[in-house]
Chain A
Amino acid sequence: MRLSGSGVRCVRGGREVFSGLDFAASAGEALAVTGRNGSGKTSLLRLIAGLLTPEGGSIGLEGGEGELTLPEQAHFLGHRDALKPALSVMENLAFWREFLGGEPFDLAECLATVGLDHAASLPAAFLSAGQRRRLSIARLLAARRPIWLLDEPTNALDTSGQAMFATLMGDHLARGGLIIAATHAPLGIAAREFRIGGAA
C-alpha cells in the first residue's frame, strides 16, 4: 500500500496555500507534516481525506483494499471531535462503530485502552478536552482503517495520554497501517518529517 501525491496545489478562499507539493508514504510508515501556522497542514489532510478538491496535481493510493476509495479507507481525526454531547461516551463510540462498519470490536476494551472505561455511561457533554480527545482516539480502534489522518492528535492530551497514543500508533504501523499526522509536537514514534513551506 502506497499513498502518494504529486504536484498538489491547494487554493482556499482565492489564496494559494501551497503548490507543487510531492509526498509519498508506504504501509508501516508515518509521515509527520510540519510547518508554521497557516502553511496548509490541515488543508493537506483534508485534501487526502477527499473533503477538499485539489486545484491541481493528484493524490492516489496504490494497493489499497479492492474497490474502496482513499477516503473510505481512512480515519480522519480532526480538530472537531465528532461527539454528540447528548449521548453517553459508550453511545457515541457505539454509533461510530456501527456507522463506519467493520469487525465488531469490543467497545469496553477500546474504552479501557484509552482510559475512559470508568466514564462509559457519562454524557459526552461532561468530558474534559483531553477526555474528548481520548474518546475520538477510541473511534480509531473501534473500526479498522489502514490509513490514519491525524490533525494535531496529541492536543489536549496529558503525558500519559501521549504515551498511550504513541503505543497505539506504533501498533497500527506494525499491523501495516499508514499514518499521516499534522503536528507541532513530537509524535513519540519514528516518523519521517515532511515540511510544508520554508523553515520556521
Chain B
Amino acid sequence: MTALAALIRRDIKIALRVGGGALIGVLFFLTVVVLMPFAVGPDLALLTRLGPAILWLGALLASLLTLDRLFMADHEDGSLDLIVMSRTPLELTCAAKALAHWLAAGVPLILATPVLGLLLNLDATATAAVALTLLAGTPALTFTGMIGAALAVTLHRGGLLLAVLVLPLSIPVLIFGVAASQAAISGPLEFGTPFSILCALSLVSLVIGPFAAAASLRHGLD
C-alpha cells in the first residue's frame, strides 16, 4: 500500500509543479468554454440550452490533453521498466496512476465548472447538475483513456493516436453525462435515470481500465 500511496503522491506532486499539466488542463477547459459564446453569438437562451454540452465537451477535450503523458513520461525516463518489474501488481499500479491523474487533472475541471457556468448563462441548479455529472463521469474518461495511453506508450506522437482511440470510447459517457444535466435543467426525463447509467459506466471502466492498461503495457514493452 505504501508503494501505491507513494506513486499517487509523486504523480500529483509532478502534475502540480511547473510544466506538470494539471493547470494546463483547466486553462484549456477555460479557453474552449470562453470561445463558445463568441462562436454561437450573444443568444442567451441558446447558450443556456447548449451550456451542459459545451461544458462536457470542454472537460472531455481537456482531460484528453494531459492523458497521453500518463505512461509516456514514465516510459521515456525508464521509470516504467522499474514499475513493471516491481513487487506491486501492475493492475494496481495502473489504477493508482489513473487515480492520481484524475485527482490532479480531473478534479480541477469540476471545481472550475461553477465559474464557467456563469459564462454560459447557467443558473445555480444547472451548474450544480453539470458539476455533479462531471464528478460521476470524469473517472470514466480517465480510466478508459488510460487504456489508450497504455496502447500508445511506445509510439512517438502517440497523443494523436490516443485521441482517435479514446474519443469513440467516450461517446457513451458524453451522451449520459449531457442527458443527466439536461434532465436536471429542463426535464422531462428524471435526473436519476441517465445519472445511474453514467455512474455505472464509471464503475465498469474502473474495473476494466486497469486490467486492459496493464495487459497492453506488458505486451507493448520492448
Contacts and interface: CB of A to CB of B under 8 A. Distances in A.
A65 to B, nearest CB: 11
Given A82-B77, A87-B10, A99 B222 contact: no
A70 B169 CA distance: 37
Contact of B81 (A12, A49, A87, A95): A49
Given A95-B6, A98-B3, A50 B78 contact: no
A94 B2 CA distance: 12
Contacts of A71: 84-85
B193 interface: no
A96 interface: yes
Contacts of A100: 3, 82, 86-87
- Chain B binding surface SS class: helix
A82 B78 contact: yes
B157 interface: no
A82 B73 CA distance: 10
A7 interface: no
A152 interface: no
B76 interface: yes
B221 A68 contact: no
Interface string B2-24: 11011101100110011110000
Contacts of A80: 76-78, 81
B82 A82 contact: yes
A81 interface: yes
Interface in A80-96: 80-84, 86-87, 91, 94-96
Nearest to A68: B87
Contacts of B20: 86
Contact of B82 (A76, A86, A94): A76
A96 B6 CA distance: 9
Interface residues of A, number: 28
B10 A81 contact: no
B196 interface: no
Nearest to B15: A86
A86 B78 contact: no
B88 interface: yes
A55 interface: no
A84 B87 contact: no
Nearest to B79: A82
A74 interface: yes
A122 to B, nearest CB: 14
A79 interface: yes
A100 B86 CA distance: 6
Nearest to B219: A53
A51 interface: yes
Nearest to B85: A71
B7 A79 contact: no
Nearest to B75: A80
Interface string A99-112: 11100000000000
B85 A79 contact: no
A72 interface: yes
Contacts of B85: 49-51, 71-72, 74, 76
B221 A99 contact: no
Interface in B78-131: 78-79, 81-88
A81 B81 contact: no
A49 B83 CA distance: 12
16 contacts: A49-B81, A50-B85, A52-B222, A72-B86, A78-B78, A81-B77, A82-B78, A84-B77, A86-B14, A86-B19, A87-B17, A94-B6, A95-B6, A95-B7, A98-B3, A100-B86
Interface of A: 12, 46, 49-52, 68, 71-72, 74, 76, 78-84, 86-87, 91, 94-96, 98-101
- The list of the 10 closest CB pairs from A to B, nearest first, reads A80-B78, A98-B6, A71-B85, A82-B78, A82-B79, A86-B17, A95-B10, A99-B3, A72-B87, A86-B14
